[in-house]
Amino acid sequence: MSQEIQADADLRAADIEAVIVPFRGRNGMLIPLLQKMQERFGYVPPESIGPIAKALDVFPVEIYGILTFYAQFCLEPRGRHTIRVCQGTACYIMGGKDLLDHVQGKLGIQVEQTTPDRRFTLERVACLGCCGMAPVVMVDNDFYGRCTPAKMDEVLELYK
């Protein structure tokens, strides 16, 4: 069993290394590299910080500084689906706040959290640029306009 875990870890380390290689030693490439890392794993694995620090010759604390500053980065595994409830001005005025409250209540999680079954990660977003169809919710890459709590319940059922 422990051998299997070791093998998994090795495989993962190799994956992490593969993401890093094209960026090694390049100035100003920290953010694009972290973006690639997140694209590969769905989040930035904490064990990748050490190798990245070595490859770009920066301190790990600088990397944590970046990861916690920018909203895009996530240090934990995410849900299978991401719900983004728009809280842009138009959506907010058209009922986006009540909608977000509803989704939070229904899933039993707050913004930036993931359901225990890893089905959904909930996020708020400042504007999806579809203000004409406010309030708007985006699940993964699908947009849903003129949402109501009832419509939201139906939409969420589409994602397992």
Partner 1 sequence: MAALSSHRILICVGTSGVAAGAEKVAAAFQSELERRGLLEKFDIVRTGDRGLFRDVLVDVITPELGRVVYEFIQPEHVAEIVEEHLVHGRPVEKRRAGQDYEAFFKNQTRIVLANCGEIDPEHIEDYRRVGGYQALRKAMDMTPQAVIEEVHKAGLRGRGGAGFSTGQKWRFCREAKGDLKYVICNADEGDPGAFMDRSLLEGDPHAVIEGMIIAGYAIGAREGVIYCRAEYPLAVRRLTLAIEQARREGCLGSNILGCGFDFDVSIMQGAGAFVCGEETALIASIEGRRGTPRVKPPFPAHQGLWGQPTLINNVETFGNIPPILRRGWEWFAAIGTERSRGTKVFALAGQVRNAGLVEVPMGMTLRELIFGAGGGMSKRRIGLKGVQLGGPSGGCVPESLLDTPIDYESITGTGAIMGSGGLIIMDERTCMVDVARYFLSFTVAESCGQCTPCRVGLKRMHEALEEITAGHGTPEHIAFLQEMGETIKSTALCGLGQTAANPVLTTLRYFRHEYDAHVHDKECPAHACKALRHFEVIESACTKCGRCFKACPANAIEWKKGQAARIDLERCTRCQTCYGACDFMAIR
Catalog residues that contact partner 1 under the rule CB under 8 A.
Answer: 27-32, 34-35, 62, 65-66, 69-73, 87-90, 92-94, 98, 125-134, 136, 143-145
Nearer Cβ to partner 1, position 31 or 75? 31
Kindly report the three-state secondary structure assignment for every residue of 63-117: HHHHHHHCCCCCCCCCCCEEEEEECCHHHHHHHHHHHHHHHHHHHCCCCCCECCC
Tell me the helices (H) and strands (E) count for the chain, helix number first: 7, 4
Q: How far is the CB of 87 from partner 1 (least distance, A)?
A: 7
Phi/psi at 85 (5° precision): -95, 120
Q: How far is the CB of 101 from partner 1 (least distance, A)?
A: 9
Nearer Cβ to partner 1, position 13 or 66? 66
Nearer Cβ to partner 1, position 77 or 105? 105
- CA–CA gap between residue 107 and residue 85 (Å, rounded): 13
Q: How far is the CB of 1 from partner 1 (least distance, A)?
A: 38
Q: How far is the CB of 4 from partner 1 (least distance, A)?
A: 35
